[in-house]
Amino acid sequence: MNKFDIIIIGAGAAGLMAASRCTAAHKSVCVIDMGDSPARKVRVSGGGKCNFTNTHADYKHYFGQNPEFTRGALARWTPADTIDWVKSHKIKIHEKAPGQYFAESATDIVNALLSDARGAKFELNTTVNRVEKSGDKFLVHCNTKNFQCEKLIIATGGISYSNLGTSDIGYKIAKQFGHKIIPPRPALCGVSTKAFDSALSGISIPVEIKIGREKILDDMLFTYFGISGPAVYRASVRNLENGFTINLLPELDVLKWLKAQKQTNGKKQIKTVLATKLPERVAEFLAFDTKNIADWRDTELQDLATKISNIKIDKFTLHNLLSAEATRGGVDTAQISSKTMESKLCDGLYFIGEVLDIAGDLGGYNLQWAWGSAHATEI
């Protein structure tokens, strides 16, 4: 039997940060992962540049049954702490947008994590089959060998990006010890909808997406399956039970503008008028009528304005877990201590990172949660 003080299942962002913290506390640590290399999702994050934190990270940028669960961990390990940690490894960073920090290369972040966790033993290409607890010890049964530990940290992440080797073993272990699982779904992903023509695929425009009272201003990309891009990714992590609306010209009072155009450019076709504000293909999709704008009744202009600025998306599917950047849902935080990340149902069992029912907004929030929850783990 391979015995350790602490076993961490999952060699992703949260797992590696937890490993570095545990080894620094002079604990014997084993990190078990089913893949052939650690931090596979970190390596591809941010287009290979790794958006490692966001200085605006607070509970308002997280989603799940109880986003306020993140308060304590994010207060104890702040974005400033993350930036200091990255700088301590001499990694070149840049602020792409206000508060949004990227590394020169995601590989630099991975190497920093591995350097700090070098005191841990890594068991890669190892599948966890089941876990049991005997007395105050955990027994971890794997496909290659078995392990024993006093404390067990589950850092298996969500189930998005399955092509990178993700697994639902974290959920299975949680359920085994009585934990409730909030059904996982894709987040930070595109949306399949028939609201737009596939001929628009490849066009990106700034839009406003409204979900209830919340408004998201960002770019939207038309795709062959529907819509994608930052605005849609940000919408997808939120509660979409009642659908959402899209405004293709958020900076404009569209009806007022159309009526003014009717007076000043009456001899122009409506699509020609729209093409001054929107890409030509989008203008044609919205108004393929060949009439001059002067021949449009005000009621018709009202309908067109609504078609542009209040597009209701109520029949849709989140694209899929294969391409989603995150998972919404997971281990119910009501049964986890927000101070220590320890299970309230089983002493010595911890859950950190994306395996929990916590999903962050687009822009470095999920990695900040990984770092923060790992540091909150009381070992």
The stretch 31-43 carries a mean pLDDT of 95
Count of CB atoms within 10 A of residue 112's CB?
A: 20
What pLDDT was estimated at residue 164? 60
Q: Coil, strand or helix: which one is 367?
A: helix
Q: Shortest CA distance to 231 belongs to which of 250, 212, 207, 247?
A: 207
| Mean pLDDT (the chain, rounded) | 95
What pLDDT was estimated at residue 159? 86
What pLDDT was estimated at residue 375? 97
**At 143, phi and psi to the nearest 5?**
-70, -20
Would you say residue 162 has pLDDT above 80?
no
Contact 219, 232 (CB under 8 A): no
Q: What confidence tens digit (pLDDT) does each residue in 273-315 have?
A: 999 999 999 999 999 777 899 999 999 999 999 999 999 999 9
DSSP 94-157: EEEETTEEEES-HHHHHHHHHHHTTTSEEE-S--EEEEEEETTEEEEEESS-EEEEEEEEE---
Contacts of 66 (CB under 8 A, 6+ apart): 333, 334, 357
Q: How far lies 57's CA from each of 62, 82, 229, 251, 331, in Å?
A: 8, 11, 21, 27, 21
* CATH number of the domain encompassing residue 30: 3.50.50.60
User: Band of the pLDDT at 173, cuts 50, 70, 90?
Assistant: very high
- CA 205, 63, 179 angle in degrees (round to 5)? 145
Q: How far lies 67's CA from each of 74, 275, 329, in Å?
A: 11, 42, 12
**At 68, phi and psi to the nearest 5?**
-65, -10
Which structure tokens are listed for 94? 């840049």
Q: Which domain holds residue 292?
A: 190-319
Q: Shortest CA distance to 379 belongs to which of 1, 2, 3, 8?
A: 8
Report which residue type is found at 117. Answer: A
The stretch 144-173 carries a mean pLDDT of 88
Of 171-180, 207-216, 239-248, 288-297, which gets the smallest average pLDDT? 288-297
Contacts of 88 (CB under 8 A, 6+ apart): none
Report which residue type is found at 27. Answer: K
Same domain? For 148 and 290 the reply is no
DSSP state of 361: P
Would you say residue 197 has pLDDT above 70?
yes
Q: How many domains does the chain contain in total? A: 2
Same domain? For 254 and 274 the reply is yes
Would you say residue 18 has pLDDT above 90?
yes
Q: Shortest CA distance to 222 belongs to which of 194, 250, 202?
A: 202
* CATH number of the domain encompassing residue 302: 1.10.8.260
Same domain? For 43 and 154 the reply is yes
Would you say residue 160 has pLDDT above 80?
no
The stretch 27-42 carries a mean pLDDT of 96
Would you say residue 152 has pLDDT above 80?
yes
Integer Cα distance of 271 and 291 in angstroms: 9
Same domain? For 55 and 161 the reply is yes
Q: Coil, strand or helix: which one is 364?
A: coil
Same domain? For 154 and 232 the reply is no
Same domain? For 267 and 195 the reply is yes
Same domain? For 194 and 312 the reply is yes
Same domain? For 79 and 213 the reply is no
Integer Cα distance of 19 and 118 in angstroms: 9
The stretch 126-147 carries a mean pLDDT of 96
Among the candidates 287, 304, 319, a domain finishes at 319
Contact 227, 221 (CB under 8 A): yes
Would you say residue 243 has pLDDT above 70?
yes
What pLDDT was estimated at residue 163? 61
What pLDDT was estimated at residue 103? 97
User: Band of the pLDDT at 371, cuts 50, 70, 90?
Assistant: very high
Q: Shortest CA distance to 105 belongs to which of 115, 91, 95, 119?
A: 91
What pLDDT was estimated at residue 95? 97
DSSP state of 78: -
Same domain? For 164 and 136 the reply is yes
The stretch 6-22 carries a mean pLDDT of 97
DSSP 163-212: GG---SHHHHHHHHTT--EEEEEEES--EE-SSS-GGGTT-EEEEEEEET
Contact 293, 271 (CB under 8 A): no
Contacts of 321 (CB under 8 A, 6+ apart): 159, 160, 161, 162, 184, 185, 186, 327
Same domain? For 171 and 27 the reply is yes
Among the candidates 302, 319, 336, a domain finishes at 319
Integer Cα distance of 249 and 264 in angstroms: 20
Contact 164, 40 (CB under 8 A): yes
- CA 160, 162, 74 angle in degrees (round to 5)? 35
Among the candidates 300, 319, 338, a domain finishes at 319
Q: What confidence tens digit (pLDDT) does each residue in 51-81 have?
A: 999 999 999 999 999 999 999 999 999 999 9
Same domain? For 105 and 234 the reply is no
| Cα of 200 vs its chain's centroid, Å | 26
What pLDDT was estimated at residue 342? 98
What pLDDT was estimated at residue 321? 82
Of 12-16, 180-184, 350-354, 375-379, which gets the smallest average pLDDT? 375-379
Same domain? For 72 and 159 the reply is yes
